[in-house]
A and B are shown apart, each in its own frame.
Chain A
Amino acid sequence: MHGMRWVFRATGGFVGRIESATRIAFWPDEPADHGFDPSLLIMTDLSRTPAAAALGEISFDAVEVDDCYCGPTGDLRGTTLGPRWPEIQVAGAVYLEQRFRDRLPDAIRPALPPKFMSGRAHEYTTVVYWPNADDPRAGRRYAGHHAELLEERGTLARVVVFSPGTSNSPGAQPRTLWVDLGSPDDTDAGPHSMTEIGLGRGRRSGALYLISTGIPATVLESQNAAAR
């Protein structure tokens, strides 16, 4: 759905060319496997992110990749190739915005799940709802997981959740937990939710988008101050 959120699809990335502090070209697959073929490079601008859009530096439609951001334990999440020179990493993860990814020629559009990776497509997907929208999910990021529904009590559900990329791995060790499928504090509950299980949707196994992080409060405050 256009005009409400950014959907990001993960791929691996190997930097093949650097054109400016933020503009790079990368290969989604191991370049040694195709002889470092320059025709397979994907050009993107690592500064075209949700945070930049929230700050008004680019339009919401111009977002190409997710931000690099701090994960819950201090690890790097999102587009870890970036965010900018000289911190550009030779290899890492790239989260391409869905519309940007769809515009890529078939020959270079990255596979989903990424090549040689296990799991399902939604385990490599995150969604960030546009800030300043009249939606409790505004400015929040949700991460796709594969989950199986065990029981429901109203909107509460007991689910088995797999770590991203492990749902079809023989040694997977999923966790069982209760989540409120009707709360945007837990999941992407609301209109056009990407969660597939529970709440009368008729599926007991499928995508579950759990709350992850969000656009930093400092960015949103800057945006609000600019609006005033």
Chain B
Amino acid sequence: MTPLHIVSNRALDVVPATMLRAPTTVVAASLHDVTRALTAQAARPPSSPIAIDLVGHSTSAHQLLRLGSTVIDALDLAVFRFFEAIGRSGILRDINAVCLRLLGCETATSACGVRTMRLLSSVLAIPVYGSRKRLSRTHHTAQGFNPIFRHVLVDATGDVPPAELT
């Protein structure tokens, strides 16, 4: 599976420099750069299934992923509407996206984090995974999130992603 990395411009320190230079990596200053990344991916030749990885630090109190200036909080109606529009657009099907991963520290631990994962999965119609642990640069390689740490990721029900999604 090929990851599409969308890395927060405020968290460039948490991924290897080699990963940042990869053609499938986009640095995001806000949620709007997610649209840019997906559109760019859609312009590429059809690929094998991809995981969309949003990579950043999480907020200290809520453990919600921060992508540039935007906190990925699905209880924030503007954020929810953004992802709802992505789900409706069909672009995820076009690029063969099979899951969304919120790669920030403990993004699957707070009640708000879990609710966010459920709501995003509902509108995007793909599994959404978060982290139940703190993440650092060592969890990533030049190719993205290291699959040997698959057990760190869970969906909103606590299930670890199947091997084919890592």
Residue numbers of A with Cβ under 8 A of B are 49, 51-52, 55, 67-76, 83-84, 86-87, 216, 218-219, 221-222
Contacts and interface: CB of A to CB of B under 8 A. Distances in A.
A76 B115 contact: yes
B50 interface: no
Interface of B: 31, 61-64, 70, 73, 75-81, 109-113, 115, 118-119, 122
B118 A70 contact: no
B73 A52 contact: no
Given A76-B111, A76-B115, A87-B118, A52 B61 contact: no
A49 B76 CA distance: 11
Contact of A75 (B80, B81, B110, B122): B110
B112 A75 contact: yes
Q: Please indicate which of the listed interface residues A69, A70, A83, A216 has the most CB atoms of chain B within 10 Å of its own CB.
A: A70
A67 B77 contact: yes
A41 to B, nearest CB: 25
B75 A73 contact: no
A216 B77 contact: yes
Contacts of B62: 70, 73-74
Contacts of A74: 61-64, 109-113
B79 A69 contact: no
Given A67-B77, A76-B112, A221-B78, 6 more contacts: A72-B61, A73-B61, A74-B61, A74-B63, A76-B75, A222-B81
A216 B122 contact: no
Contacts of B109: 74
A63 to B, nearest CB: 13
B75 A69 contact: yes
Contacts of B81: 55, 222
Contacts of A83: 75, 80, 119
Contacts of A75: 110-112
Contacts of B61: 72-74
Contact of A219 (B64, B76, B110, B119): B76
Contacts of B111: 74-76
Contacts of B110: 70, 73-75
B112 A70 contact: yes
Contacts of A49: 77
Contact of A87 (B64, B70, B77, B115): B115
Nearest to B62: A74
B78 A67 contact: no
Contacts of A70: 62, 64, 73, 75-76, 110, 112
A83 B70 CA distance: 20
Contacts of B113: 74
Given A74-B61, A83-B75, A218 B70 contact: yes
